[in-house]
Structure 1
């Protein structure tokens, strides 16, 4: 673990649309006071710098949202300038920004690259117009192809986001679409099965029986294994449940979450996990964008919300995060007696094995990750 470094997440809460499957803290809004928001971010950084060690280095920065690529480039530049006033970047600091295909602008990306952004994550989601429309997206397949070409010409490191397990999607359709995706040769792919999160429009439709054509458990399993097999044949490493990378292109920012390293979140609703005085703390920002902005603009000395975590909570969070990257889990983390009572069934059903003092997930266990995790969480 890089104990002398941390990662920074910057949340931009605004989008041009609100997708029906999205449960992120994001809002459709057009008229945004960029000057006010810049002041809010800068005061937030100042506040955190007063609480968190300035002797640490930053290993990654991620501008997420929302759609941060629609924000004024000057905001990104000024945020980075303020961050570097307090902390220094590690030698290979990864700086990413999320974009949608219709917000990819050649001149803006080149400008951002000049100021240190070295990775772009593009939310494509589907490679056909019919499904893009069903997903509530406001771009076309042609827009996606143009955006990918633009990004490829500027950045060597980029990610493409796709959703599968969509309405009425057959295994053959996904196989053909995934083959087209793999042919692009992107260094990194995030391939997520469509999940119905509470409070989303899709979930409300599903509750009323109006969301038709969702895959059953058998088809979901087949889609997952097909995805892994095809990616593996094309030299992608499945280093996290839904993330696939070429050699040397793992997303360093997301790895900091999954390895349970320190990360700081700024912006409305952003979370963090920070080690202060050798104890892990949770940080959380005000959720509502307007209230978050007001809290930083009009308080003379705004203080972010920090709370220490219990040993049990740290155990639970660290276990869940590590299992997402199929990291071998030290047996020493667990209560030995409680673990032994769980291991019999987990090994009997070929979900995991014991190896060199560690628990190692097997292929079937990765598919049943939620079940395995829930069993092990009882072994604190």
Structure 2
């Protein structure tokens, strides 16, 4: 394996014209598993090399370890642990996981089933009388906002404010200074500030008042790792809201699009509801919500395959390419919910494996099951649908379908 500059392929992947189908370009990229770019950064695109480097202790998530540091997206605020390295990352992640999943709270996700189903049912009820719906705006977008508000303990009357903030933040992620009005970026920065202030105020009310919501548990926890500071709690809640929301929206929307493109699988899911569990795993491989980790840094020189990546280099990880690698997956471009040994990279791997993955999986399972069961004869209005600009968090910005509204 040799290191080769492949700037044209990467530029075409990042260009919006490739958003609806980047997979043939990923195949081109995989010809050089570790490719040096003109600016000295490295792109990794094959499964084995991605899996190796994601578990390499010399891979850093801290921008300060880049030779040419980039400005933090979070400004001067406390970064979330996704942008930290051990041991601080491990401490904060352990503290968050104590209240979000096993082993300390093993029943959290399962205990949400009834409220998840109720929320989904209510959104589908609102389809009545409409011959055309937008799966994104009418369903996949509002669903996870409601879930995260419930988890954090946000009062129901404040939920509309959360939706406005999330909308402005997500729009700012896709901001292109060449074509977009500056207001998009300004609204995103304002939303970030207002959201943090709101979460901080909510947190103040939780100190000394233990309750079942996540903010309360974090505020009053004094486990083996001590307590999070208020700034750390707000950053963790912000991470859960933004990262968890966007990935879930994309997973549900990409899932419905894939089912509509594979009507025989859609019908099979109707007939075999238990198929939804392996089906969502295959969606995470075949049409994942996160395509690229746009940067990591090398603590020191890192050898990946036959290539030495120098200390301080920026590294781009093409997760979606790895999950379509024919050297790892049989017929990788075929959507197969019966696929075995499906160790995809849909939620990453290693120490930064998405800690909200179990919740996102369950949300997608319930959402897709109910859509398939209750929406009568759905058909796509446009294929491909319009996509978000982002090549990182890839998914349709709208997914219009026609159905028998009844």
- TM-score, with length taken from structure 2: 0.22
More strand, by proportion: 1
- TM-score, with length taken from structure 1: 0.23
The higher relative CO (CA closer than 8 Å, separation ≥ 6) is in 2
More helix, by proportion: 2
